[in-house]
Each structure stands twice: as structure tokens, then as C-alpha cells.
Amino acid sequence: MNKIEHIGIAVKDLNSSIDIYQKLLNTDCYKTELVASEFVNTAFFKTGENKVELLEATNPESAIAKFIEKKGEGIHHIAFLVDDILAEMERLHNEGFVLLSESPKKGADNKMVCFVHPKDTNGVLIEICQEIKWI
């Protein structure tokens, strides 16, 4: 794992949260994106070399909606950038971690993603992600 790519924060209202984080981080949101397959709207901020991703549910049955219902708004996951997501998924599986998908999924911000079950990581949802390279 190369570095922390971003910290994901679950929010109830993306627009009001964008205003809050623009003031807090003293920077503009550089990108918003709908990830229809995951029923989530996202917004991204850069702070130095780090990123913050805000996540708003678009469906009451989505993972983000269920997370907020159970735990309230707050940190949802920590994402780590990897060079080869397939190799990292295999390594994690061989180490005994439970992955939440058998293959990477298209995520936000031009990434392929896979999540590690939080029961294996002391309650923290871990995302591994790889930049999609265009040929």
C-alpha cells in the first residue's frame, strides 16, 4: 500500500457538507460525481497531498444510508492507493482478510476499488484503490 489516498466521510446532505468542508479546509471542492452502481453522490477536496471524499446516499437501501442510520454521519472509510489492485486483493485474501467483492469495482475519481471487511480490521472499513490507466 503506497499511501492513504483519501478519507471517506458519510454525510446526510452533500451540498451543505460541501459548504462546511470548503470553509473548514479553506479550499474548493474540485469534483463531484455520481457513482450510480453504489447509489452514492461524492464530492472531493484536496488538502496538500491528501484528499477527503464526502459520500451522500442516493437510495435509502444503499451502504451509505445504512451506515448513517446505524452510526450517524462521520468517517466511513480510509482508502489506500495501490499499484496493482488484483495483486493486493490476492495478498490480502491470502493473509486471511475478507474482501467485500471478488473483483474490483469502478469507483469514484477514476479508481478501481475493493473494500476489506471491517470485522477483520478492528472495525475500520478499508478501501484499496488503483488509478484507472487509459491506453
pLDDT in tens, 14-56: 999 999 999 999 999 999 999 999 999 999 999 999 999 999 9
Q: What DSSP string describes the chain?
A: --EEEEEEEEES-HHHHHHHHHHHHTS---EEEEEGGGTEEEEEEEETTEEEEEEEESSTTSHHHHHHHHH-SEEEEEEEE-S-HHHHHHHHHHTTPPBS-SS-EE-SSSEEEEEE-GGGTTT--EEEEEEPPP-
58: Cβ contacts below 8 Å, ≥ 6 apart? 34, 36, 39, 40, 41
134: Cβ contacts below 8 Å, ≥ 6 apart? none
Residue 135's pLDDT is: 55
- pTM of the prediction? 0.92
Residues 57, 34: Cα–Cα separation, whole Å = 10
* Average pLDDT of every residue of the chain: 96
Q: How confident is the model at residue 133 (pLDDT cuts 50, 70, 90)?
A: confident
pLDDT digits (tens, 9 = 90+) for 64-92: 999 999 999 999 999 999 999 999 999 99
Mean pLDDT of 95-117: 96
User: Is residue 88 within 8 Å of 73, Cβ to Cβ?
Assistant: no
